[in-house]
Amino acid sequence: MIGQDAACCPGLASAPLDEDQAAELAKVFKALGDPVRLRLLSMIASRGEGGEVCVCELTPAFDLSQPTISHHLKLLRQAGLIDCERRGTWVYYWVLPTALDRLAVVLKKPTAVEALA
C-alpha cells in the first residue's frame, strides 16, 4: 500500500524513485495490470465515494467462477485499492477514497501539476 499522504510520494517524473518506493508502487500497478481486476475496480469505483457493491453484482459480469473473482478482489484489497465487509450472505466492496488519486499524483508530470496550481 502506498503512503497515506499524497504529498509523501514523489511523482515518477519529479525524481528517480528509490528501490523501496519502486517496490511499493509496483505492487499497486501489478494489481492494476490485469483486465479482470481493472474491470472489477472500475465497477466498484464508479459507484463513487461512499458507494459499495455486493459481490453478487460483480460476479455475473464475468464468465469466471466466484472463487476466481474473489481472488482478484483479494489482490485489489491487498494493494490497498479497495476494502470490503461481510454482511450476512454477501461481501460488499468499496473503493478506498484516496488510493486512485494518490496513484494519479505519482503519474502526473511536475509541469502538469504546476500548470493546475
Residues that bind its own copies (CB under 8 A): 12-19, 22-23, 25-27, 29-39, 41-43, 45-46, 48-49, 61, 95, 97, 100-101, 103-105, 107-112, 116
List residues bridging with 54 in a β-sheet.
92
User: Do 72 and 40 touch, CB atoms closer than 8 A?
Assistant: yes
Closest CB to its own copies among residues 23, 54: 23
- Residues 85, 99: Cα–Cα separation, whole Å: 18
Query: Cα 86 vs. chain centroid, distance in angstroms?
Result: 20
Closest CB to its own copies among residues 5, 88: 5
Closest CB to its own copies among residues 18, 86: 18
